[in-house]
Amino acid sequence: MTAPQVTQAKKAPPVRDDKFAARRAELSEAALTTLAALGYARTSLREIAQNSAFSHGVLHYYFSDKVDLIVCSVRQYKARCVTRYDQVTVEAQSYDELLTGFLDGLADTLRREAPMHRLWYDLRAQALFEEAFRGDVMDIDQSLESMIWRVISRFAELTGTSHGLSPRAAYALFDGLFQQALLRHLSGDAQAVPSLQAQARQAIDHLFSRSL
């Protein structure tokens, strides 16, 4: 009688726990400056390592490639962005108060975080060509669309009016204005920020019948 054969179980993949995720978040945050400065095409894990305190080996351990790192970095940044207007949206008690807060937020993020927004638009453009980006880009786009819709819905509540836009159309309107302003701002146009605020104000006033 032969001894029973012992079937060796497959070796389980290493568990990637909260510490691993936290380290990825730390590294992706540190990489944002380099990514925003260089953009997708000119960035590699080695290039990022050369411009940070982390070795190429460390980055390669936590990220499979530059696509993985860029997506993680942009997701992390945009996760903060989608809460940008939440406080003023909740606290505003009048149309003018909400409008002022929204326009101030647009101006502030364009002035202070233009390189980060440039990276986002770079990633979104790459998604037209790189399938690896598409799912993440669509998820981020959806979160930004929801952010704008919360603002628009609050305007509707405060005015008691209907604007007739879908969430996607509302997002396309303000995202288009912002992207154009970003290009002008990066080109050194001193009027890019005030022009964005004026155009956004005009669009909101028109939507809610506040035009003169």
Show me where the domains of the chain are located: 18-65, 82-207
What's the pLDDT score for residue 39?
A: 84
For the segment 26-37, what is each residue's pLDDT rounded down to a tens digit? 888 888 888 888
Q: Which residues of the chain have pLDDT under 70?
A: 1-16, 210-212
CB 44 within 8 A of CB 79: no
> What is the DSSP secondary-structure string of the chain?
-PPPPPPPPPPPPPP--HHHHHHHHHHHHHHHHHHHHHTTTT--HHHHHHTSSS-HHHHHHH-SSHHHHHHHHHHHHHHHHTTTTHHHHHH--SHHHHHHHHHHHHHHHHHH-HHHHHHHHHHHHHTTT-HHHHHHHHHHHHHHHHHHHHHHHHHHHHHT------HHHHHHHHHHHHHHHHHHHHTT-TTHHHHHHHHHHHHHHHHTT---
CATH topology of domain 18-65: Arc Repressor Mutant, subunit A (1.10.10)
Please give the pLDDT value at position 16: 60
Please write the tens of the pLDDT for every residue from 12-68. Answer: 344 467 889 888 988 888 888 888 888 888 888 888 888 777 888 888 899 988 889
Percentage of the chain modeled with pLDDT above 70:
91
Confidence at residue 65, expressed as pLDDT on a 0 to 100 scale: 87
